[in-house]
Structure 1
Amino acid sequence: MIYLRRMDYTVIVYHLLFHLLLLTLGFSPAFCFFSSIKNTFKWGVQSVGNAVCSGVNCCDFHLNDNVEENLTKLLKDKLFGQHIAASLLVEALSSHRTHKSQKALGIGLHGWTGTGKNYVSEMIAESLYKQGMRSPLVHVFAGRASFPDGDEVKKYRKDLLTWIRGNVSDCGHTLFIFDECDKWPVGLIDVIKPFLDYHSVIEGVDYRNAIFLFLTNTGGSAIGQRMLDLHEEGVIRDKLKFEDFHDEISLSLFNEEGGFFKSDIIRGDGIDFHIPFLPLEERHVRKCAERQFELKGYSNPTGRMIEDVLKNMLYGPTSNPIFSMTGCKRVHSLVLSVIARLKLEL
């Protein structure tokens, strides 16, 4: 049974009162009656629809149209210094959605902290679902926060298996975001492998429309070193291609300690795209700062305001300090600090 909220009844009463007012102003009774019934019925249908589809019911109700166009615009407007990632992400989603995929989509996002991996995950969710990250079809697991005890791998595997199977059973168009995979207990991530294999259906559940994002620092150091080498060779950043970092990511996945270490999900190529996030330079951090000031109502921050953010960032490596060691991660808090100081000076 569907129950309307108290607010729903209140709005219906307001509709009726409004049309009674029209009647007192001289509008014909027939006009007021039919107008009232029409608008109230239209609103009621919409309200009932929202009530029914507030969870994972009515799977299609939660989905956006024009996903690729939306994602392309978000990446262009909000992501800085990551032309390789932006291009590959749109390609990955487009190919998976346009063609009848034979498996769930697995995407690995690799790079230093603060380079935009979490930010991009939010953009993907915003593009796919009407409620973005608040959609009931988005599920986030965050490294040690979700799996704190290395001795509980058996329990975590069982829980994760049940959670994935249950949610995809409710709606195949589900997004799973696995953050800080490098901090997962070794062996846990392999429980996801069957869902990323080439199976149309597993125990009656179709996983082919599901998307799995793996966010990790694994490969970040190798990407940074390769980036530095190419920079010193005079290669222009915007000319860099995915192939310039493929070997670095592959070797890191096999050899670095952490959640991916010697995992079957890597050996079996369950992840379709391994996307490098490049270290950010000062010019990119500047854009991040400008963006944060704009979001706080300062559309034209002064040069001093920007410099007060940039001077508190740490750059490296020591031999050639051109990269922000924390990307744009600290920018938000530094912008808030600058704004607070400005208000005190008034």
Structure 2
Amino acid sequence: MEIDEQGVERQELEKDRQEIGRVVSSDIVVHSSRHVASVFFPSSSSDWRHWLPVALQLRVLCLRDPCLLLQKKMPKEKRDMWTSRMEKGTQHWMDMERCNLDKSINRTALQENFNKNFFGQHLAHDMIYQALTEHMDNKNPKKPLVLSLHGWIGTGKTFVSKIIAESIYHWGLGSRFVHLSPPHSSMSSFKRLRESAKHCAASLFIFDLMASFENVNNIQFLLEDPIFHQSIFILHSYEGSVAINKVALDFWMAGKRREDICLEDLASVLHAELSNQSSVYSNSGLITKNLIDHYVPFLPMEYRHVKQCVMAELSQRRLKEDDDLASRVASEMIYFPEEHEVFSLYGCTTVASRLDRHL
């Protein structure tokens, strides 16, 4: 008797879907060493497609750190079963995602996300939106789009990369065509990225914390390879943040509006800091060979921007917006410089954990 392996697999997957629908009916809290977040499940729905965004959210939250999933009143064996089956089901649907070779982009969602959730970064907003849409409109670019994001802690570099990923690929950071690279990647890791690009020329590569000369040289190796000409590279760096912060403080001290800061005010000081001998960008091919298309400055976050982050976090958790609560959380942040206390020392990075203490 011949066995229909695909048919058996489909039946098993359907059982998994139904079982997950029965097991999971309330909130799950995801704990990791970097963040704590609440994930809300549509308990009234048994349609597996409604569970996929939740599964993806869990997958993305756990990309960098091992996570412990805790379900209220769920026995350990049920929790373990749910975790493995959710992973299996999610991977099944993610594997069906196709490479975005036609370079389509959800402009409406991108702009809406920028306007609703990307705070205090008028320069980055305009630069990234224009660069991204122009690159996607060009169906046969000569080189990949390379964005180098520079700014202080918690100013939105990682968050905007998430928005970009979601505007290009349905699964966002969880897509198999979106690659997140740690700060110290080996040459073998970079070679694996090249192999990935063979399967999808329009991939998105995100490099967190440009921290070593070796890392920069390896990235240069990728950028000079013609196989990546349709890809997008996003580089995150703290370098230049001191110069950016100083310009922002000078404007504040002079009584000028933050929104009046223009790229010309930052371009020369940012270039000077990146050209310093201690910079990993200095004398690298990234600069000398003009491989980077845009150096995007991220301004330090003020009290009002932290409040906006709190309100956005409340909305994400499906809680009622509370201006008094947002003010209390924002007031707990540490601000610098000490004599003026203008900018949040950690940006919006600790907003979620601080909000937890008030709920």
- TM tier, shorter chain? 0.7 to 0.9
Counting only pairs closer than 5 Å after superposition, residues 274-289 of structure 1 correspond to structure 2 as 274-289=295-310
TM-score, normalisation: structure 1? 0.74
Aligned to 1:98: 137
Q: Shift in Å at residue 97 of structure 1? A: 1.3
Give the unaligned 5+ runs of structure 2.
Answer: 17-89
Q: Shift in Å at residue 90 of structure 1? A: 0.8
Aligned to 1:85: 124
* Offset from partner CA, 1:181-239 (integer Å, 9 cap, x none): 1x2x3233112224434x7x3xxxx3211111000111111100011112222321112
Question: Secondary structure of the residue that 1:5 maps to in structure 2?
Answer: helix
- Are residue 124 (structure 1) and residue 164 (structure 2) matched? yes
Distance 1:308 1:269, change over 3 A: same
Aligned to 1:179: 208
Counting only pairs closer than 5 Å after superposition, residues 1-346 of structure 1 correspond to structure 2 as 3=6, 4-7=9-12, 54-55=94-95, 58-60=98-100, 65-99=104-138, 100-143=140-183, 146-147=184-185, 156-157=186-187, 159-181=188-210, 183=211, 185-197=212-224, 201=226, 206-255=227-276, 257=278, 259-301=280-322, 303=324, 305-339=325-359
Residue type at the aligned position of 1:136 = R
Distance 1:9 1:64, change over 3 A: farther
* Contact 2:165–2:204 (CA under 8 A) maintained in structure 1: yes
Question: Secondary structure of the residue that 2:356 maps to in structure 1?
Answer: helix
Distance 1:2 1:125, change over 3 A: farther
- Between 1 and 2, higher relative CO (CA 8 Å, sep ≥ 6) is seen in 1
Give the Cα separation in 2 of the matches to 1:139 and 1:60: 14
Segments of 4+ in structure 1 off by > 3 A? 7-11, 50-58, 63-66, 256-259
Give the Cα separation in 2 of the matches to 1:2 and 1:188: 44
Give the Cα separation in 2 of the matches to 1:97 and 1:64: 5
Task: State the percentage of identical aligned residues.
Answer: 28
TM-score, normalisation: structure 2? 0.72
| Higher deviation after alignment, 259-268 or 316-325 | 259-268
Greater C-alpha radius of gyration: 1
* Contact 2:336–2:342 (CA under 8 A) maintained in structure 1: yes
Give the unaligned 5+ runs of structure 1.
Answer: 12-49, 148-155, 340-346
* Offset from partner CA, 1:257-300 (integer Å, 9 cap, x none): 35434322122221101100001111111111111122223223
The structure with more helix, counted as a fraction of residues: 1
* Offset from partner CA, 1:43-96 (integer Å, 9 cap, x none): xxxxxxx999843884249x8844333211111111010111011111111111
Question: Secondary structure of the residue that 2:255 maps to in structure 1?
Answer: coil
Distance 1:299 1:64, change over 3 A: farther
Distance 1:57 1:72, change over 3 A: closer
Give the Cα separation in 2 of the matches to 1:258 and 1:6: 56
Cα RMSD after superposing both structures: 2.8
Question: Secondary structure of the residue that 2:347 maps to in structure 1?
Answer: coil
